[in-house]
Amino acid sequence: MNVNIFETTIDIDESLVAESSDEIRDQIREYESGDRLDFDLRVTLPDGMTGTVMSAMADIPYGETRTYGELATALDTTPIAVGQACGRNPVPLVVPCHRVVGSDGSLKGYSAADGTATKRRLLDLEAEVCERARQTRLPTR
């Protein structure tokens, strides 16, 4: 299913989410408006590295980031493997792959529509909602 956020479209594999498409869209609208910090959706994680990385990404709190290297260390793998798994995330936004950044704070990539421009908007929203208190790794513009 396609969902609209910030004038762009993100493709979400709704077959992996237990709740209805309407519920997914409602929660994304609440997220976009800053009224929702966590998604209350039951996601079936794929097997293998993608599912393992998705589980780790799901634990990154709203308004915070982790580096590919930090996740790699925690999962005993490589930053490249983490990046590849992020790119295969079938439910971007719901499982927050946008919160994973390069070791220098750079955005690197984002598999959803408009790539890093969308990733930047998502992180900016979270930083704004958190009053920028917890965003520690993103470079200022």
Domains and CATH numbers, the chain: 2-129 (1.10.10.10)
Quickly state the pLDDT bin for 103 (edges 50, 70, 90): very high
pLDDT digits 0-9 by tens, 104-123: 989 988 877 788 999 999 99
Place of tokens 């598999």: 111
Tell me the pLDDT of the chain averaged across its residues. Answer: 91
pLDDT at residue 136 in the model: 52
pLDDT digits 0-9 by tens, 16-73: 999 999 999 999 999 999 999 999 999 999 999 999 999 999 999 999 999 999 999 9
**How many CA atoms, within 13 angstroms, populate the side-chain half-sphere of residue 38?**
7
pLDDT at residue 54 in the model: 97
Which residues are catalytically annotated?
Answer: 97
d(CA 28, CA 21) in angstroms, rounded, equals 11
pLDDT surpasses 70 at 132: no
pLDDT at residue 94 in the model: 96
CB atoms within 10 A of CB 122: 22
Quickly state the pLDDT bin for 139 (edges 50, 70, 90): low
27 with 41: CB under 8 angstroms?
Answer: yes
pLDDT at residue 137 in the model: 55
CA end-to-end distance (rounded Å), the chain: 33
